[in-house]
Amino acid sequence: MSSLGVFLSIIAALSVGAMSPGPSFVMVSKIAISRSRMDGLAAALGMGIGGIGFSILALAGLTALLTQFGWLYIALKIAGGIYLAYIAYKIWRGASEPIEIGKAAADRSALTRSFATAFLTQISNPKTIVVYASIFAALLPKTIPIELFIAIPIGVFLVEAGWYTIVALAFSAQHPRRLYLKAKAWIDRAAGAVMAGLGLRLVVSGVTGR
């Protein structure tokens, strides 16, 4: 298979994974709907940068390190689960607090916070690097051409940032926002519960070794 064929196959596989519901989707949609469109786009950028990090780690073969040292992988899963649980707690605690949508758009610190929150949510799940590595191992040739080393991280960024940009634009539209303001407490608690469940699942899988 040509380098272009390999690249397109990897990007297609990763696109399906990026669109699967998970903590990243919950976080970006929550940021976009409750803060501002710019915050949602900052979060999408954070997801893209996180994707670059995972792709570089997978290309560097560091997944083999996690496989060899099982305790490290377990520790990362537990730490990631605890972080997601912490985010869930913050979302739940703020469910009853009123907000003024749109103010964050002119606040650089708020945009930075949205970016950082999304980035940390993205990298908090070490299973993602295993998914990346599995796809790479299945589709990459034994000797990886230099153009793929350059093109794959760029492609991963476009997939992750592109998909979550769509999510941010959709959830920052006026109609979703009006619905959110009417049922903020319930929506926030539901988002917090989902995030807590995902975090708990990550911790349990780390403890049980599954």
**Predicted local confidence at residue 123, as pLDDT:** 84
Tell me what pLDDT residue 94 has.
75
Interior angle at CA 159, CA 154 and CA 165, nearest 5: 115
Q: Give the total residue count for the chain.
A: 210
Nearest partner of 192 among 113, 60, 95, judged by Cα: 95
Amino acid at 144: I
Reading the block at residue 21, the tokens are: 């519901």
Report how far residue 96's alpha carbon sits from residue 184's, in angstroms, rounded to the nearest whole number: 8
Name the CA dihedral angle for 191, 196, 198, 201, rounded to a multiple of 10 degrees: -160
Res 38: pLDDT:
92
C-alpha–C-alpha distance, residues 80 and 123, integer Å: 8
Q: Kindly report the pTM of this predicted structure.
A: 0.74
pLDDT of residue 205: 76
User: Cα–Cα distance between 128 and 26 in angstroms, integer?
Assistant: 16
Judge whether 92 and 192 are in contact, CB under 8 Å: yes
The reported pLDDT for the residue numbered 105 is 47
DSSP 150-184: HHHHHHHHHHHHHHHHHHHHHHTSHHHHHHHHHTH
Using the 8-state DSSP alphabet, how is residue 20 labeled?
A: S
Provide the token pair at 79: 């730490």
The pLDDT assigned to 161 comes to 95
pLDDT at 65: 61
**Rounded to an integer, what is the distance from CA 200 to the centroid of its chain?**
17
pLDDT tens digit at each of 210 positions of the chain: 688 888 998 898 888 778 876 788 888 988 998 888 899 999 999 999 999 988 888 787 665 665 566 676 677 678 777 877 887 887 788 777 766 555 544 578 889 999 999 998 888 877 677 777 777 777 777 777 888 889 999 999 999 999 999 999 998 888 877 777 777 788 778 878 877 887 787 788 777 766
